[in-house]
Amino acid sequence: MTYFKSCCGKRAQSLLAIWSISWVLLGCSGPQTKDKLDNTQSTHSASVQSMSKASHQPVKLIFDTDFGGDADDLGALAMLHSYADEGAVDLLSVMSWANERHAIQAIDAVNHFYGRPDLRIGVRQAEQWYTQWSYSEPIANQFEHSLKSASQARAAVSLYREILSQSDDNSVVIVTVGPLANIQNLLMSEPDQYSELNGYDLVHQKVEKFVIMGGRLPDGGTDETTEWNFSGSMPGVTKYVLENIKLPIIFSGFEVGKALTTGSEINQHPKNTPLYVGYLHFSEFAPWMKENFTGEVLDNATFDQTAVMYAVVGGVGEHWRLSEPGLVSANELGTSAWRYDDAGTHRYLILPDSEEQRVKTQNYILERMMYAPRTD
Ligand SMILES: [Ca+2]
């Protein structure tokens, strides 16, 4: 996610005004109120076991994140480690859109915590910023990591090119849960020591599909309600990316994650974990969360986890369905639009209307997020 995707009304406008001044305040996804979930372990286990059976070959996956803003990126990364531990995913790299001062160290700390200290991390080449409310700082401060600054991480485009050049054709799934600047930079990249192909050709030769959390679908909303990942305060980025990828793209739009609520259950999670530390800090300090903070992790929307979940296990027919084929487009500001097209390469996730089904999906995600790391 997704700093801005849940915003609405005056809160959205006021934060947008702040955001336009600085990279530091990154919009909002509003707190949600909801009845307590039926959070039984038996329900969780049945759900996860059912989904696990759907797994086949590991999904070769690159995770591109704006880690440190909304806590859903943290939850999504925890889910990926869970899937990796059971062999459902081959996690090739984490790419960070975020240049917050502690983002890379925090991602590295999460990877260490889940037993993957050597997982390669790429970072967007841009000026760093610092924000006190990002949960990256407490995670970096409290958990072991190797990278001491963003300068010790790889440049995202270079790492993308290296990984793709070494991959089989049409074999890599790229999951994006933040603004698409890394993807634009990759598409625009020139041949280098890793590949004689330019970025466009390299992507279209090596990538199987993209799974993108972003946009408002199917109703694109207005320029005042543009979803954060598509806006990113980076005019033209999403438009360029969508116009220059001819591969299958499955979108998890704002509406999917907004309907799923997770967070407060993490209060029952061990306290000495990045998941708890990150979610608690996010609940206490994120501008759109702190007014409701009472000392515990708060519920929030569940955007990025849905993209990870779909990319690894699908879940079509069990947790959601896919739209008919079509095309998602975006204007310069990132405001999305959808049109059906039999020849279109895009589809988007659609949640069923039933509350029972939403709870089932929430519980599945919760169990994945709160998965205990391996101890070997
Ligand atoms: Ca995100």
State the SS3 of 183-230: HHHHHCCCCCCCCCCCHHHHHHHHEEEEEEECCCCCCCCCCCCCCHHH
Dist CA 82 CA 51 (whole Å): 13
Ligand 1: distance of its center to the CA of 121 in Å?
16
Ligand 1: distance of its center to the CA of 250 in Å?
16
Predicted structure pTM score: 0.87
Ligand 1: distance of its center to the CA of 364 in Å?
19
Please report the pLDDT score of residue 31 as a whole number: 30
Ligand 1: distance of its center to the CA of 96 in Å?
10
Dist CA 308 CA 367 (whole Å): 14
Ligand 1: distance of its center to the CA of 16 in Å?
17
Name the CATH superfamily, with its identifier, for domain 9-369.
Ribonucleoside hydrolase-like (3.90.245.10)
CB atoms within 10 A of CB 296: 13
Please report, for the chain, the start and end positions of each structural domain, with discontinuous segments joined by +: 9-369
Ligand 1: distance of its center to the CA of 81 in Å?
17
Ligand 1: distance of its center to the CA of 323 in Å?
23
Dist CA 273 CA 209 (whole Å): 32
Please report the pLDDT score of residue 38 as a whole number: 28
Q: pLDDT at residue 52 above 50?
A: no
Please report the pLDDT score of residue 56 as a whole number: 75
Ligand 1: distance of its center to the CA of 78 in Å?
13
3-state secondary structure 167-188: CCCCCEEEEECCCCHHHHHHHC
330 close to 312: Cβ distance less than 8 angstroms: no
Q: Tell me the average pLDDT across 271-297.
A: 97
Ligand 1: distance of its center to the CA of 241 in Å?
17
The contacts of residue 293 (CB under 8 Å, 6+ apart) are: 283, 284
Ligand 1: distance of its center to the CA of 196 in Å?
32
CA distances from 297 to 31, 94, 143, 276 (A): 11, 25, 19, 8
54 close to 47: Cβ distance less than 8 angstroms: no
Q: pLDDT at residue 21 above 70?
A: no
Ligand 1: distance of its center to the CA of 86 in Å?
24
92 close to 60: Cβ distance less than 8 angstroms: yes
pLDDT band at 375 (very low <50, low <70, confident <90, very high): low
Ligand 1: distance of its center to the CA of 193 in Å?
31
Ligand 1: distance of its center to the CA of 375 in Å?
28
Residue 197: phi and psi, rounded to 5, are -80, 145
Ligand 1: distance of its center to the CA of 218 in Å?
20
Please report the pLDDT score of residue 376 as a whole number: 55
Ligand 1: distance of its center to the CA of 262 in Å?
15
Q: pLDDT at residue 89 above 50?
A: yes
Ligand 1: distance of its center to the CA of 77 in Å?
10
Residue range 309-345, pLDDT digits in tens: 999 999 999 999 999 999 999 999 999 999 999 999 9
Ligand 1: distance of its center to the CA of 134 in Å?
12
Question: 157 or 32: whose pLDDT is higher?
Answer: 157
Ligand 1: distance of its center to the CA of 109 in Å?
18
Ligand 1: distance of its center to the CA of 342 in Å?
30
| Residue 119: both structure tokens together | 């997982």
Mean pLDDT value across the chain: 87
Ligand 1: distance of its center to the CA of 24 in Å?
15
Please report the pLDDT score of residue 153 as a whole number: 96
Ligand 1: distance of its center to the CA of 345 in Å?
23
